[in-house]
Amino acid sequence: MKIQAAKVVITCPGRNFVTLKIETDQGVYGIGDATMNGRELAVASYLEDHVIPCLIGMDPRRIEDIWQYLYRGAYWRRGPVTMRAIAAVDMALWDIKAKMAGMPLYQLLGGRSRDGVMVYGHANGADIEETVDAVGKYIDMGYKAIRAQTGVPGIKDAYGVGRGVLHYEPADAQLPSVSGWDTRKALNHTPKLFEKLRDTYGFDHHLLHDGHHRYTPQEAANLGKMLEPFQLFWFEDCTPAENQEAFKLVRQHTTTPLAVGEVFNTIWDCKDLIENQLIDYIRTTVVGAGGITHLRRIADLASLYQVRTGCHGATDLSPVTMGCALHFDTWVPNFGIQEYMRHSEETDEVFPHDYHFADGHLHCGETPGHGVDIDEALAAKYPYKPAYLPVARLEDGSMWNW
């Protein structure tokens, strides 16, 4: 069996997605997601110009060998572009292998570990009252877990406050827009949101919050401590994680569970965090961290230290990633939770899939493969449209972490 052809499909049904399609000499094809929000064309080129020429003629059944070939063979290892390109190949090859085996991907990984995958949605609002109302809408939709983000008085475009209820697309301009930040205002305001949420809805639902890399370790420890009475499911990206040791400082001061990893690309980005139990959930994704093959390695390491998975699942991760993630989540023994920002209707039409939402959980389908396809004719109707993530500046104009 040989890889006969491969191509990159770039489409923009409301937002940009990069998809790799690998075709074999036996008529079976597989697809993988390669989307990197705000830098999509870099990954498309990496695939078209440097990966696809190497793949032609290879045996698509040799998933591990191809993974090692693309990882070691790049010489320049570990970056987000490289690992997304490897992820797209990996997802497509697992799709092919499962189709050839005539079984849904989760069966190939080791079978079902749970009936459904608990997910969380994004509730947000311009102020506390709006966010409390948005959380109520998610509860009414049957969600067991809800992330809550709110506007902060005095901060321009606080993170996570979108224009719609069901999904939030931060890549909002053809050149980076500028949002504001002020830690003191956020520290004063955020605990009030969760106090109001617990007063309103009690403790029967999981509440999550995303710090989005905005705090120093001491500030993150301070906020984590202030949030303890509200029993969060997790406080995510509390501080930038390039320095994994920084989490020791946070961990010393708060029992609020910590989650990190959506911007990680390999196991090396989180090895110390996991081995020192500095986090409770690892957020690495199928698309961001080298595909199913590498994400399994991260999950296995995490399982040794009672760290659970909590894959990132924002709208900029395509339905192909969501499909693969759900098969992974259905199998992985140390599952925690799956983020689920719903895609737009146009996106779901371009990427027909067999997963579905019910009672606060997502359920992958039984279709052989990962259960997601791409309608290339429809995809062609949505040409690429440059879109950047915002940048953040402090009140004195200093650059900060968006």
Residues contributing to the site for Mg ion (CB under 5 A): 210
93, 165, 289, 314: which one binds ligand KDG (CB under 6 A): 314
Q: Does 312 bind ligand KDG (CB under 6 A)?
A: yes
What 3-state DSSP class applies to 364?
Answer: coil
* β-strand pairing of 361-363 with 356-358: antiparallel
The side-by-side arrangement of strands in the sheet containing 17-24 is 3-11, 17-24, 29-33
Q: Which of 167, 209, 212, 312 is catalytic?
A: 212
* Residue (235 or 355) nearer to ligand KDG, CB: 235
Stretch that binds ligand KDG, among 13-21, 247-255, 267-275, 310-318 (CB under 6 A): 310-318
In DSSP terms, 124 is beta-bridged to 149
Q: Which of 29, 71, 120, 159 is catalytic?
A: 159
Q: Can 212 be counted among the known catalytic residues? A: yes
Angstrom CA distances, 219 to 160, 184, 188, 229, 247, stand at 19, 9, 11, 17, 12
Please report, as residue ranges, which positions from 248 to 287 form the binding site for ligand KDG (by CB under 6 A): 262
339, 347, 364, 392: which one binds ligand KDG (CB under 6 A): 339
Helix, strand, coil percent content, the chain, rounded in steps of 5 = 40, 20, 45
Please report, as residue ranges, which positions from 191 to 230 form the binding site for ligand KDG (by CB under 6 A): 210, 212
Angle at 74 between CA 66 and CA 20, to 5 degrees: 55
Please give the Cα distance from 293 to 44 (Å, whole number).
21
Number of chain residues interacting with ligand KDG (CB under 6 A): 10
* Residue (212 or 294) nearer to Mg ion, CB: 212
Please report, as residue ranges, which positions from 164 to 183 form the binding site for ligand KDG (by CB under 6 A): 170
Please give the Cα distance from 70 to 67 (Å, whole number).
5
Stretch that binds ligand KDG, among 53-61, 185-193, 287-295, 308-316 (CB under 6 A): 308-316
> Residues in the site for ligand KDG, rule: CB under 6 A?
37, 170, 210, 212, 262, 312, 314, 316, 339, 389
Write out the catalytic residue numbers. Answer: 159, 212
